[in-house]
Chains A and B, each alone.
Chain A
Amino acid sequence: MEDPLHPFELHTIVPLSLFGLDVSINKAVIMMFLVVGLVILLLTKARSSGSLVPTKLQSVAELLVEFIRGMIHDTMGPEGMRFFPLIATLFLFILFCNLLGLIPGTYTVTSQLVVTGVFALGVYALSILVGLKIHGIKFLSILVPSGTPGWLLPLMIPIEIISQLARPVSLSVRLFANMTAGHVILGVLFGLAISGGLLIGWLPFSFTVALYGLELGIAFIQAYIFTILTCVYMGDAFHLH
């Protein structure tokens, strides 16, 4: 049986170099282009009809927009709608990466820690910048939970610094670990099904089918969690305590 982590290896297809940086095209890059193209194509097609009685595609797009709008309103309030384009882009990109990666033969972009790490760091840095812009130096009071007695401050401030720094780490590791683990399990079970033959192979194969359904749910829930946590961190920057 082959190494279960083998499908996650990336090999250069078109070597490219830009200003000394390695920007070669590999499977992950092609998948990202595909995802972006698909999202743009579907949404422009959904928008193009623009009729009062929505077509099938249009009502799916309207549901999506309502869903993202609901998330933003719940966590940031109406003033958070300024960030709607960012949140919607993140959600759609991660969702489509997760879902398209489940098609056999394609590549799951979100199973690379580099991709999720850059997203998480960017979102976290943006939330800090927004907080500093709105509240100025008073924003540092997120490091002091309300109602802390003075003698606890030397303990609470390091704890709060750690839990702030853990935000991008947990955000990126969660998405990356969930996608990688799910695909490894699917791969191992399917390998068992093939090596088991007809006599016993149907047992792991039926597990593969069941887990595939679970993975579809996980693909959606992980995209949702990444986006709602982005909204929560942005909301923390808007409203101090």
Chain B
Amino acid sequence: MPSSQDPLFAGLGQAVRIGTNLLATLMVGGGLGWSIDSYLLPTEPWGLVGGLILGLIAGIRNAYRTAQRMP
């Protein structure tokens, strides 16, 4: 059993996070935009477009922050 301080182990843990995080922010952003479009406002395609763009920005920002925290 490796220590939680083991550099290989901790680095692997951090690396695996980034990919799924990018996907998850994109999904959440698109989902929020789509639900604004279809239930709240009559802004048919633009909520989805804006939501996807915001999700992409959030994902890249998170990846950047995770990478910055790496030793």
A contact residues vs B (CB 8 Å cutoff): 60, 63-64, 67, 70-71, 74, 158-160, 162-163, 165-167, 169-170, 173-174, 177, 221, 224-225, 228-229
Which residues of chain B are near A174, meaning CB under 8 Å? Answer: 16-17, 20
B61 engages A70 (CB within 8 Å): no
Cβ-neighbour of A74 out of B4, B57, B59, B61 (below 8 A):
B4
B23 engages A170 (CB within 8 Å): yes
Considering the chains assembled together, what is the distance between the CA atoms of A221 and B13 in angstroms? 7
Considering the chains assembled together, what is the distance between the CA atoms of A71 and B5 in angstroms? 8
Residue B68 CB within 8 A of the other chain: no
A-B contact pairs, 11 of them (CB 8 A): A60-B1, A67-B1, A67-B3, A67-B4, A74-B4, A162-B55, A165-B28, A170-B23, A170-B25, A173-B20, A221-B12
Which residues of chain A are near B28, meaning CB under 8 Å? Answer: 162, 165-166, 169
16-34 of chain B: CB within 8 A of chain A = 16-17, 20-21, 23-25, 27-29, 32
Interface of A is mostly: helix
By beta carbon, the residue of chain B nearest A69 is B4
Which residues of chain B are near A64, meaning CB under 8 Å? Answer: 1
Nearest CB in chain B: distance from A204 CB, A: 26
Given A63-B1, A64-B1, A228-B13, the answer on whether A162 and B20 have CB atoms closer than 8 Å is: no
Nearest CB in chain B: distance from A99 CB, A: 13
Cβ-neighbour of B4 out of A70, A158, A166 (below 8 A):
A70
Residue B49 CB within 8 A of the other chain: no
Considering the chains assembled together, what is the distance between the CA atoms of A165 and B30 in angstroms? 12
Residue B46 CB within 8 A of the other chain: no
Considering the chains assembled together, what is the distance between the CA atoms of A228 and B10 in angstroms? 10
Considering the chains assembled together, what is the distance between the CA atoms of A173 and B25 in angstroms? 12
